[in-house]
Each structure stands twice: as structure tokens, then as C-alpha cells.
Amino acid sequence: MSAFQQLVLASGSPRRIELLQQVGIEPDRLFPADVDETPLKAEHPRSLAKRLSRTKAERAQAALAREPEHAGAFILAADTVVAVGRRILPKAESTEEASNCLHLLSGRSHRVYTGVCLITPAGKLRQRLVETRLRFKRLSREELDSYLASGEWRGKAGGYAIQGLAASFAVKLVGSYTNVVGLPLYETVGLLAADGFKVHFHWPAAR
């Protein structure tokens, strides 16, 4: 990034880092915020995604206030939630959790919500919520067992990674693909550019 603009990503997600790099943005600092992601009672999936992304951004902002070298940085945070109706699926950490998620998603539609939150150098807070609809094929026992054995599901919302083997499960996707991966690029770049961040600073020039 330029010497006059810094971007702090309030996440340690390799997927979000790779997505930003894909559009020529390299975060100057990673600040994975330790946030309790447990939904509140009767909380809607879209509300959870917005709340968690804002909490992560504000947590990073408070911590970075003690680091003068990051004064005036743009702070970007995101949180992705997978849901069937109002039922929020976990970020699978065990084979049982992943299996439960995949059995629920098999042969039906679900929604992926990502809340994106940007805190500007002037302290303004901007938010976007992006929704993608996705339908999986009916999964066979062999497909379920093979996917669980792959381990790709670990730590993934809904128990799958669309950018990996689970791409073969997707029958239909309506909306942003990068949203399902973990960071909707169109909306994220729009938020940054609208507040003066030089999104194209490192784009290669034609020779």
C-alpha cells in the first residue's frame, strides 16, 4: 500500500487475504479480532453478520489506537454466516458438526450472508450486507463421506468451502460468488473507493 494509506484487515482468514490480493490490495496489518460469535437469542442471520463485522472492526480500532504507526488506517472487517431459513449453521470444528451441516444442506437451498464493515481514517463507520442464494445437489453417502474425509470443511461456516471440492455440490448460485468464499469483492472495493482508498494503486500498468 502507499506510504500515506494503510489498510488493517481485522481478520486472519487466508481466504479473505487471498481475495483482497486478487484485486491488488495487500493489507498492511492483520488484526484477527477475538469475538464471541454466538448468536443472540432469536437473532436473524443477517443481523448476526452485521453485528459481528462491526464488533470486529471496532475491536481492532480500539486496539490500534495504542499503536501510533497505524493512526489513520482504514480498518476492514467481515463476517460470513450460512443459514437455512433462520437457522444459523456453525463454523464446523468437528466431523459431527460438518456432517450435520451437510445433511441439512443436501438437496436444498440456503443463504450466505456477509457483513462488511469499514472504519475510515476520519472515524466514519460504513457497512454493507451481501446475500447470496445457493442450492446444493442431493449428496450421496459416498460424496458426504469423501468430503468429510477431506477435512476441507474445518472452520468453514456451514461446513463447506465453495472454492474447493464443494464446488461440485453447487447446482445454482444467485448473487456474489466471492461472498460465499468469505468477502464480496464488488461491495468491499466499492466501500473502500467511496472513502478515498486508492484501490488501484498497485494494479500493473500495461507495457
In the chain, DSSP assigns E strands to 7-9, 29-30, 74-84, 87-88, 109-119, 125-136, 170-174
Active-site pick, 28, 34, 79, 145: 79
Could you identify the residue written with the cell 466514519?
Answer: 124
36 is catalytic: no
Contact 13, 182 (CB under 8 A): yes
Q: Nearest-CA neighbor of 73 among 25, 11, 29?
A: 29
CB count, 10 Å around CB of 58? 18
Active site residues: 79
